Amino acid sequence: MSTTHGHAPIQESGQLSEFEVLELAVRELAIEKGLFSAEDHRRFSEWAESRGPHGGSKLVAKAWVDPAFKERLLTNGTEACKEVGLNWLEPTGQGTPSDYTFFYVLENTPKLHNVIVCTLCSCYPRPVLGMSPDWYRTPNYRRRMVRWPREVLAEFGLHLSPDVEVRVHDSNQKSRFMVMPMRPEGTEGWSEEQLAAIVTRDCMIGVALPRPDWTAQQVPSQATPSQAKGKGGRK
Amino acid sequence: MSEAKPYEVLLDALDAADERTDTALQCGERVPAPWESAMQATCECLSWRGSLDNLERRQAEDRLGETVYSRFPVHARSVVVVAHSLMDRSVIDQDELKSKMKEVRARLERE
Protein backbone atom coordinates (compact mmCIF):
# COMPACT_ATOMS: atom_id res chain seq x y z
CA MET A 1 0.00 0.00 0.00
CA SER A 2 1.41 3.37 -0.93
CA THR A 3 1.03 6.47 1.17
CA THR A 4 1.63 10.13 0.55
CA HIS A 5 1.80 10.95 4.24
CA GLY A 6 5.49 10.25 4.61
CA HIS A 7 4.97 7.67 7.32
CA ALA A 8 3.99 4.03 7.60
CA PRO A 9 0.28 3.18 7.58
CA ILE A 10 -1.24 2.57 11.01
CA GLN A 11 -2.19 -1.01 10.24
CA GLU A 12 1.09 -2.32 8.93
CA SER A 13 0.40 -6.02 8.71
CA GLY A 14 -3.03 -6.02 7.13
CA GLN A 15 -3.72 -8.94 9.43
CA LEU A 16 -7.24 -8.71 10.75
CA SER A 17 -7.58 -9.56 14.42
CA GLU A 18 -10.32 -12.07 15.19
CA PHE A 19 -10.96 -10.16 18.41
CA GLU A 20 -11.60 -7.02 16.39
CA VAL A 21 -14.06 -8.96 14.27
CA LEU A 22 -15.69 -10.37 17.38
CA GLU A 23 -15.99 -6.93 18.97
CA LEU A 24 -17.72 -5.49 15.91
CA ALA A 25 -19.99 -8.51 15.61
CA VAL A 26 -21.07 -8.34 19.25
CA ARG A 27 -21.64 -4.61 19.09
CA GLU A 28 -23.64 -4.77 15.88
CA LEU A 29 -25.79 -7.64 17.13
CA ALA A 30 -26.45 -5.77 20.37
CA ILE A 31 -27.50 -2.69 18.41
CA GLU A 32 -29.68 -4.73 16.04
CA LYS A 33 -31.44 -6.29 19.01
CA GLY A 34 -32.04 -2.90 20.58
CA LEU A 35 -29.84 -3.40 23.64
CA PHE A 36 -28.37 0.05 23.02
CA SER A 37 -28.01 2.39 20.07
CA ALA A 38 -25.10 3.35 17.86
CA GLU A 39 -25.55 6.86 19.23
CA ASP A 40 -25.13 5.54 22.79
CA HIS A 41 -21.88 3.92 21.74
CA ARG A 42 -20.56 6.98 19.97
CA ARG A 43 -21.36 9.17 22.97
CA PHE A 44 -19.51 6.87 25.33
CA SER A 45 -16.47 6.82 23.11
CA GLU A 46 -16.51 10.59 22.79
CA TRP A 47 -16.95 11.03 26.53
CA ALA A 48 -14.09 8.70 27.39
CA GLU A 49 -11.75 10.45 25.00
CA SER A 50 -12.68 13.90 26.33
CA ARG A 51 -11.42 13.18 29.84
CA GLY A 52 -8.09 14.74 30.76
CA PRO A 53 -5.83 15.48 33.71
CA HIS A 54 -7.40 18.92 34.26
CA GLY A 55 -9.93 17.35 36.64
CA GLY A 56 -7.23 15.98 38.89
CA SER A 57 -5.33 19.27 38.71
CA LYS A 58 -8.40 21.11 40.01
CA LEU A 59 -8.74 18.66 42.88
CA VAL A 60 -5.16 19.11 43.99
CA ALA A 61 -5.18 22.90 43.64
CA LYS A 62 -8.37 23.18 45.66
CA ALA A 63 -6.96 20.91 48.34
CA TRP A 64 -3.83 23.04 48.57
CA VAL A 65 -5.83 26.18 49.39
CA ASP A 66 -8.74 24.64 51.31
CA PRO A 67 -7.75 22.40 54.26
CA ALA A 68 -11.34 21.31 54.88
CA PHE A 69 -11.70 20.17 51.26
CA LYS A 70 -8.36 18.41 51.47
CA GLU A 71 -9.64 16.47 54.46
CA ARG A 72 -12.78 15.47 52.59
CA LEU A 73 -10.76 14.51 49.53
CA LEU A 74 -8.45 12.26 51.51
CA THR A 75 -11.36 10.74 53.43
CA ASN A 76 -13.67 10.03 50.50
CA GLY A 77 -12.19 10.84 47.12
CA THR A 78 -15.21 9.75 45.13
CA GLU A 79 -17.58 12.08 47.01
CA ALA A 80 -15.15 15.02 47.14
CA CYS A 81 -14.76 14.88 43.36
CA LYS A 82 -18.34 16.10 43.00
CA GLU A 83 -17.34 19.42 44.56
CA VAL A 84 -15.24 20.26 41.50
CA GLY A 85 -17.80 18.86 39.07
CA LEU A 86 -16.32 15.39 38.70
CA ASN A 87 -18.82 12.61 39.12
CA TRP A 88 -17.58 9.03 38.97
CA LEU A 89 -21.11 7.98 38.09
CA GLU A 90 -21.00 9.82 34.77
CA PRO A 91 -21.97 9.51 32.04
CA THR A 92 -24.71 7.00 32.76
CA GLY A 93 -25.61 7.71 36.33
CA GLN A 94 -24.20 4.31 37.11
CA GLY A 95 -20.59 4.90 36.21
CA THR A 96 -18.21 3.59 33.60
CA PRO A 97 -16.05 0.47 33.52
CA SER A 98 -14.51 2.22 36.50
CA ASP A 99 -17.78 1.35 38.16
CA TYR A 100 -17.75 0.12 41.69
CA THR A 101 -14.23 1.36 42.24
CA PHE A 102 -13.04 3.32 45.21
CA PHE A 103 -11.03 6.42 44.45
CA TYR A 104 -8.19 7.13 46.83
CA VAL A 105 -6.10 10.29 46.87
CA LEU A 106 -2.61 9.70 48.23
CA GLU A 107 -0.96 12.59 49.98
CA ASN A 108 2.76 13.13 49.59
CA THR A 109 4.64 14.42 52.64
CA PRO A 110 8.29 15.41 53.18
CA LYS A 111 8.99 11.82 54.17
CA LEU A 112 6.61 9.92 51.89
CA HIS A 113 6.36 9.83 48.12
CA ASN A 114 3.52 7.97 46.43
CA VAL A 115 3.41 6.62 42.91
CA ILE A 116 0.74 4.64 41.07
CA VAL A 117 0.96 1.70 38.72
CA CYS A 118 -1.18 -1.16 37.45
CA THR A 119 0.89 -4.31 37.32
CA LEU A 120 -1.86 -6.41 35.77
CA CYS A 121 -2.87 -4.18 32.87
CA SER A 122 -3.50 -0.45 32.75
CA CYS A 123 -6.09 0.48 35.42
CA TYR A 124 -6.01 4.24 35.74
CA PRO A 125 -8.26 6.93 37.30
CA ARG A 126 -9.70 7.99 33.96
CA PRO A 127 -12.52 10.22 35.29
CA VAL A 128 -9.91 12.53 36.88
CA LEU A 129 -6.81 12.01 34.71
CA GLY A 130 -8.18 10.98 31.33
CA MET A 131 -6.55 8.30 29.23
CA SER A 132 -3.31 6.86 30.56
CA PRO A 133 -0.02 7.76 28.86
CA ASP A 134 1.52 5.12 26.62
CA TRP A 135 4.46 4.49 28.94
CA TYR A 136 2.11 3.77 31.85
CA ARG A 137 0.89 0.70 29.96
CA THR A 138 4.32 -0.65 29.11
CA PRO A 139 5.81 -3.64 30.92
CA ASN A 140 8.95 -1.57 31.35
CA TYR A 141 7.02 0.67 33.75
CA ARG A 142 4.56 -1.85 35.17
CA ARG A 143 7.00 -4.57 35.98
CA ARG A 144 9.88 -2.47 37.19
CA MET A 145 8.09 0.21 39.20
CA VAL A 146 6.97 -2.26 41.85
CA ARG A 147 10.44 -3.77 42.16
CA TRP A 148 12.83 -0.88 41.66
CA PRO A 149 10.78 2.30 42.11
CA ARG A 150 13.71 4.62 42.81
CA GLU A 151 15.50 3.43 39.71
CA VAL A 152 12.42 3.95 37.54
CA LEU A 153 11.67 7.35 39.07
CA ALA A 154 15.25 8.39 38.39
CA GLU A 155 14.70 7.53 34.74
CA PHE A 156 11.91 10.13 34.78
CA GLY A 157 14.38 12.63 36.24
CA LEU A 158 13.00 12.32 39.76
CA HIS A 159 15.74 11.62 42.30
CA LEU A 160 14.47 11.09 45.81
CA SER A 161 16.52 11.32 48.97
CA PRO A 162 17.09 7.94 50.70
CA ASP A 163 15.17 9.14 53.75
CA VAL A 164 12.00 9.59 51.69
CA GLU A 165 9.89 6.45 51.70
CA VAL A 166 8.57 5.49 48.27
CA ARG A 167 5.18 3.80 48.34
CA VAL A 168 3.92 2.16 45.14
CA HIS A 169 0.17 1.66 44.84
CA ASP A 170 -1.05 -1.09 42.55
CA SER A 171 -4.38 -0.23 40.95
CA ASN A 172 -7.01 -2.82 40.23
CA GLN A 173 -10.60 -3.14 39.15
CA LYS A 174 -11.84 -2.13 42.60
CA SER A 175 -9.42 0.66 43.50
CA ARG A 176 -8.07 3.66 41.65
CA PHE A 177 -5.46 6.03 43.01
CA MET A 178 -4.15 9.51 42.37
CA VAL A 179 -1.20 11.26 43.99
CA MET A 180 -1.57 14.60 45.71
CA PRO A 181 1.87 16.18 45.50
CA MET A 182 3.11 18.74 48.00
CA ARG A 183 2.57 22.36 47.12
CA PRO A 184 5.93 23.75 45.99
CA GLU A 185 7.58 26.79 47.49
CA GLY A 186 7.23 29.96 45.49
CA THR A 187 3.50 29.61 44.96
CA GLU A 188 2.33 31.64 47.93
CA GLY A 189 -0.69 33.78 47.10
CA TRP A 190 -1.41 31.97 43.86
CA SER A 191 -4.99 31.43 42.74
CA GLU A 192 -6.44 27.94 42.36
CA GLU A 193 -6.27 28.37 38.62
CA GLN A 194 -2.58 29.23 38.72
CA LEU A 195 -1.88 26.30 41.02
CA ALA A 196 -3.86 23.88 38.87
CA ALA A 197 -1.68 24.76 35.89
CA ILE A 198 1.46 23.36 37.55
CA VAL A 199 -0.20 20.15 38.76
CA THR A 200 0.54 18.09 35.70
CA ARG A 201 -0.53 14.56 34.88
CA ASP A 202 2.86 13.11 35.75
CA CYS A 203 2.78 14.77 39.19
CA MET A 204 -0.50 13.00 39.93
CA ILE A 205 0.88 9.65 38.76
CA GLY A 206 3.87 10.29 40.99
CA VAL A 207 6.73 10.32 38.50
CA ALA A 208 7.28 14.07 38.80
CA LEU A 209 6.96 16.92 41.28
CA PRO A 210 5.21 20.20 40.57
CA ARG A 211 7.37 23.26 40.07
CA PRO A 212 6.26 26.89 40.06
CA ASP A 213 7.97 27.48 36.73
CA TRP A 214 6.60 24.53 34.79
CA THR A 215 3.28 23.61 33.23
CA ALA A 216 2.62 20.83 30.73
CA GLN A 217 1.47 23.50 28.26
CA GLN A 218 5.01 24.81 27.83
CA VAL A 219 7.24 23.61 25.04
CA PRO A 220 10.21 21.99 26.84
CA SER A 221 12.73 23.33 24.35
CA GLN A 222 11.54 26.85 25.18
CA ALA A 223 11.93 26.42 28.93
CA THR A 224 13.89 28.90 30.99
CA PRO A 225 17.51 28.01 31.92
CA SER A 226 16.52 26.96 35.46
CA GLN A 227 14.07 24.43 34.03
CA ALA A 228 16.56 23.11 31.52
CA LYS A 229 18.88 22.12 34.39
CA GLY A 230 16.25 19.65 35.55
CA LYS A 231 16.05 20.55 39.22
CA GLY A 232 13.02 18.36 39.65
CA GLY A 233 14.25 16.00 42.36
CA ARG A 234 13.38 16.18 46.01
CA LYS A 235 16.61 16.63 47.96
CA MET B 1 -23.96 -22.75 39.77
CA SER B 2 -23.36 -25.32 37.05
CA GLU B 3 -19.91 -25.57 35.52
CA ALA B 4 -19.50 -23.17 32.62
CA LYS B 5 -18.74 -24.55 29.18
CA PRO B 6 -16.96 -22.57 26.48
CA TYR B 7 -18.68 -21.72 23.22
CA GLU B 8 -17.05 -23.14 20.11
CA VAL B 9 -17.54 -19.94 18.14
CA LEU B 10 -15.43 -18.13 20.75
CA LEU B 11 -12.76 -20.78 20.95
CA ASP B 12 -12.47 -20.52 17.17
CA ALA B 13 -11.65 -16.82 17.53
CA LEU B 14 -8.43 -17.59 19.35
CA ASP B 15 -5.57 -17.45 16.93
CA ALA B 16 -2.48 -19.35 18.05
CA ALA B 17 -0.49 -16.13 17.83
CA ASP B 18 -2.77 -14.49 20.38
CA GLU B 19 -2.67 -17.30 22.89
CA ARG B 20 -1.90 -16.28 26.42
CA THR B 21 1.59 -17.27 27.42
CA ASP B 22 2.43 -15.00 30.33
CA THR B 23 0.18 -15.59 33.33
CA ALA B 24 1.95 -13.13 35.60
CA LEU B 25 1.69 -10.00 33.48
CA GLN B 26 -0.70 -10.86 30.74
CA CYS B 27 -0.59 -7.65 28.77
CA GLY B 28 2.92 -8.34 27.54
CA GLU B 29 4.76 -6.07 25.16
CA ARG B 30 1.75 -4.52 23.55
CA VAL B 31 -0.19 -1.31 23.10
CA PRO B 32 -3.98 -1.58 23.38
CA ALA B 33 -5.69 -1.76 20.01
CA PRO B 34 -8.51 0.63 19.03
CA TRP B 35 -11.09 -2.17 19.20
CA GLU B 36 -10.41 -2.48 22.93
CA SER B 37 -11.62 1.10 23.51
CA ALA B 38 -14.69 0.36 21.40
CA MET B 39 -15.29 -2.74 23.52
CA GLN B 40 -15.13 -0.67 26.70
CA ALA B 41 -17.83 1.58 25.31
CA THR B 42 -19.91 -1.47 24.43
CA CYS B 43 -19.58 -2.75 28.00
CA GLU B 44 -20.68 0.61 29.36
CA CYS B 45 -23.69 0.73 27.05
CA LEU B 46 -24.76 -2.79 28.00
CA SER B 47 -24.57 -1.93 31.69
CA TRP B 48 -26.24 1.43 31.29
CA ARG B 49 -29.18 0.01 29.34
CA GLY B 50 -29.58 -2.88 31.74
CA SER B 51 -28.50 -5.84 29.62
CA LEU B 52 -25.29 -6.81 31.38
CA ASP B 53 -24.25 -5.20 34.61
CA ASN B 54 -20.62 -4.07 34.75
CA LEU B 55 -19.84 -5.71 38.08
CA GLU B 56 -21.44 -8.94 36.99
CA ARG B 57 -19.41 -8.88 33.79
CA ARG B 58 -16.16 -8.20 35.57
CA GLN B 59 -16.75 -11.06 37.94
CA ALA B 60 -17.55 -13.29 34.98
CA GLU B 61 -14.30 -12.15 33.34
CA ASP B 62 -12.36 -13.31 36.36
CA ARG B 63 -14.26 -16.57 36.63
CA LEU B 64 -14.36 -17.56 32.97
CA GLY B 65 -11.03 -15.98 32.09
CA GLU B 66 -9.25 -18.23 34.55
CA THR B 67 -11.12 -21.37 33.59
CA VAL B 68 -12.83 -22.11 30.28
CA TYR B 69 -11.14 -19.24 28.44
CA SER B 70 -7.80 -19.38 30.22
CA ARG B 71 -5.91 -19.61 26.91
CA PHE B 72 -7.21 -16.19 25.89
CA PRO B 73 -5.12 -13.09 26.59
CA VAL B 74 -6.45 -10.88 29.37
CA HIS B 75 -7.12 -7.96 27.02
CA ALA B 76 -9.62 -10.15 25.13
CA ARG B 77 -11.60 -11.13 28.19
CA SER B 78 -14.22 -8.39 27.89
CA VAL B 79 -15.22 -9.22 24.35
CA VAL B 80 -15.16 -12.97 24.92
CA VAL B 81 -17.09 -12.84 28.16
CA VAL B 82 -19.67 -10.36 26.87
CA ALA B 83 -20.32 -12.65 23.91
CA HIS B 84 -20.45 -15.67 26.21
CA SER B 85 -22.87 -13.95 28.58
CA LEU B 86 -25.19 -12.81 25.80
CA MET B 87 -25.30 -16.38 24.48
CA ASP B 88 -25.90 -17.75 27.98
CA ARG B 89 -28.90 -15.42 28.23
CA SER B 90 -30.13 -16.43 24.77
CA VAL B 91 -29.89 -12.84 23.58
CA ILE B 92 -27.79 -14.13 20.69
CA ASP B 93 -26.91 -17.64 19.60
CA GLN B 94 -23.77 -19.21 18.22
CA ASP B 95 -25.03 -19.39 14.66
CA GLU B 96 -25.94 -15.76 14.37
CA LEU B 97 -22.68 -14.69 16.02
CA LYS B 98 -20.75 -16.86 13.60
CA SER B 99 -22.71 -15.44 10.71
CA LYS B 100 -22.24 -11.87 11.88
CA MET B 101 -18.50 -12.41 12.29
CA LYS B 102 -18.31 -13.72 8.75
CA GLU B 103 -20.20 -10.67 7.51
CA VAL B 104 -17.93 -8.29 9.43
CA ARG B 105 -14.78 -10.06 8.29
CA ALA B 106 -15.86 -9.89 4.67
CA ARG B 107 -16.63 -6.20 5.01
CA LEU B 108 -13.26 -5.41 6.57
CA GLU B 109 -11.33 -7.45 4.04
CA ARG B 110 -13.16 -5.96 1.09
CA GLU B 111 -10.72 -4.32 -1.34
pLDDT at res. B104: 95
Per-residue pLDDT of chain A (235 residues; tens, 9 = 90+): 444 454 444 444 557 889 999 999 999 999 999 999 999 999 888 887 777 899 999 999 999 999 999 999 999 999 999 999 888 877 666 555 554 568 999 999 999 999 999 887 678 888 899 878 878 877 788 889 999 999 999 999 999 999 999 999 998 767 899 999 999 999 999 999 999 999 999 999 999 999 998 888 777 766 665 554 444 444 3
DSSP code of residue A223: -
B38 versus A121: the higher-pLDDT residue is B38
| Interface contact B25-A119, CB threshold 8 A | yes
How far apart CA A38 and CA A27 sit, in angstroms, is 9
User: Cβ contacts (< 8 Å) between A21 and chain B: which residues?
Assistant: 13, 101, 104-105, 108
3-state secondary structure of A92: coil
3-state secondary structure chain B: CCCCCCCHHHHCCCCHHHCCCCCCCCCCCCCCCHHHHHHHHHHHHHHHCCCCCHHHHHHHHHHHHCCCCCCCCHHHHHHHHHHHHHHHCCCCCHHHHHHHHHHHHHHHHCC
Question: Does domain A52-213 bear CATH number 3.90.330.10?
Answer: yes
Overall average pLDDT of the B31-56 stretch: 86
CB atoms within 10 A of CB A234: 15
A207 versus B57: the higher-pLDDT residue is A207
pLDDT at res. A214: 87
- Which pLDDT tens digit goes with each residue over B7-19? 999 999 887 666 7
Quick one: which of B70, B50, B57 has its CA closest to B6? B70
| Interface contact B13-A19, CB threshold 8 A | yes
How many CA atoms lie less than 13 Å away from B74 in the CB half-sphere? Answer: 18
Interface pTM, i.e. ipTM: 0.92
- Which pLDDT tens digit goes with each residue over B61-111? 888 988 999 999 888 989 999 999 999 999 999 999 999 999 999 998 886
How far apart CA A205 and CA A194 sit, in angstroms, is 20
Kindly list the domain boundaries of chain A, sorted by start residue: 18-48, 52-213
Which one of the listed residues A118, A132, A171, A203 is annotated catalytic? Answer: A118
pLDDT at res. A3: 42
pLDDT at res. A79: 92
| Interface contact A99-B54, CB threshold 8 A | yes
pLDDT at res. B110: 84
Which one of the listed residues A57, A123, A132, A203 is annotated catalytic? Answer: A123
pLDDT at res. B17: 63
Quick one: which of A159, A203, A171 has its CA closest to A63? A203
**Which of A29, A120, A139 comes nearest B96 by C-beta?**
A29
**Which of B14, B33, B91 comes nearest A33 by C-beta?**
B91
Question: Considering chain B, what percentage of its residues have pLDDT values greater than 70?
Answer: 82
Is B25 a residue whose pLDDT tops 80? no
pLDDT at res. A50: 78
A72 versus B20: the higher-pLDDT residue is A72
